[in-house]
Structure 1
Amino acid sequence: MTKVIYSATASLDGFVAGPGGDMRWLTEHLGGENAAADRLLARLGALLVGRVTYDGDDPNAGTDAEGAFGGQYDGPVVVLTHRPPANPPTGVEFATDLVTAVDRARVLAGDGDVNVLGADVAAQCLDAGLLDEVLLFFAPVFLGDGTPVFRRPGGRQVRLERLPGETEHWYRVVR
């Protein structure tokens, strides 16, 4: 069964992007071997991406590693947005509501999983009961401000349980 997984690299103080969506901080922390990321990438059939992330900063812009997963991902992408373009690029679909976006990404994923890119879309998926797993990577840096891994005004606790046999930061969402 296709799983919907939120994966992100965060600073040690819990930010996935710096102030204003800045991703330059991540550049020096990319590269090298990462078995969990390799396992995730091998499972992926589609990406579900928020519009801010889709339009946002790529720490590998202008290099061979530009794009999702350091340029290694080459598959279907569904972008959740209120502003779909008239002529979407090849391989990218746009959806204006969450359920349609998740359903379409699941179909496009086939036997693979859907990876959510974007903290806001991941929070929406959590709120709607559509998120199955969370995989976090941590870079040894404090950003002090920016986009947090998960934010809900007024707070909201989400129970997670570690996936047996996986890296210490790969969890199942407890429903």
Structure 2
Amino acid sequence: MSKLLYSATMSLDGFIAGPGGDMSWLTPYLGPDPFADDLAGRIGSLLVGRRTYGGDDPHRGTEGEGQAFGGGWSGPQVVLTHHAPAEPVPGVVFAGDLGTAVATAKEAAGGKYVNVLGADVARQCLEAGVLDEILVFVAPVLLGDGVRLFDRPGGAPVHLERLGVTQAPSAAHLWWRVPTPG
């Protein structure tokens, strides 16, 4: 059965995007990473928030612009949104509610990971009890402001179980399991 994995590159001070969703800060940290390359082969589908889907691209100006992970992955994408485009987008399903989006992404993943992209959709998955794992690539930079990895004002603590810690030239990898609610 497919698991939901929230993965993101985060600054050391906890931001996955700069102010206004700016992703240009990430460009210097997109170098070769065998760990990330291996992970891409274990992803069966993406569950993407609308702002992430239509947002800034850290691969802007490269041949990977507009492609998932700069062209390092291809496959089905499910976008959680209340405002689907009028015209269909090949390889992309637009879902209006979290339950439908998760079910569609899991089916499309074919037993591989559903990679969750976007802080708000990840928060919704966590609060709904459907998020299984969190993988954070910690980049050696302090952004000072922007979009947090998780923003849950007033939220209760969630105690995670460590699955692994590794290091690459451009980031440390922290992998956690989200305990089953209850």
TM-score, normalised to structure 2, is 0.91
Counterpart in the other structure of 2:174:
169
Between the aligned partners of 1:142 and 1:124, the Cα distance in structure 2 is 26
Shift of 1:138: 1.0
Counterpart in the other structure of 2:61:
62
* Amino acid corresponding to residue 7 of structure 1 in structure 2: S
1:106 partnered with 2:111 = no
Shift of 1:101: 0.1
Map residues 91-170 of structure 1 onto 2, 5 A cutoff: 91-163=91-163, 167=166, 169-170=174-175
Count of residues in correspondence between the two structures: 173
* Amino acid corresponding to residue 172 of structure 1 in structure 2: R
TM-score, normalised to structure 1, is 0.94
* Amino acid corresponding to residue 91 of structure 2 in structure 1: G
> SS state of the match for residue 71, structure 2?
coil
Q: Any stretches of 5+ residues in structure 1 without a counterpart?
A: none
Structure 1 stretches of 4+ moved >4 Å = none
Between the aligned partners of 2:154 and 2:33, the Cα distance in structure 1 is 38
Counterpart in the other structure of 1:17:
17
Between the aligned partners of 2:61 and 2:99, the Cα distance in structure 1 is 33
Shift of 1:162: 0.9
* Amino acid corresponding to residue 92 of structure 1 in structure 2: V
**CA contact 2:37–2:72 (8 Å) conserved in 1:** no
Shift of 1:73: 1.0
1:77 partnered with 2:46 = no
* Amino acid corresponding to residue 170 of structure 1 in structure 2: W
Counterpart in the other structure of 2:4:
4
Between the aligned partners of 1:109 and 1:62, the Cα distance in structure 2 is 29
Query: Percent of pairs identical after alignment?
Result: 62
Q: Any stretches of 5+ residues in structure 2 without a counterpart?
A: 167-172
* Amino acid corresponding to residue 93 of structure 2 in structure 1: E
**CA contact 2:46–2:78 (8 Å) conserved in 1:** yes
Between the aligned partners of 1:68 and 1:159, the Cα distance in structure 2 is 30
Between the aligned partners of 1:57 and 1:105, the Cα distance in structure 2 is 23
Between the aligned partners of 1:14 and 1:52, the Cα distance in structure 2 is 19
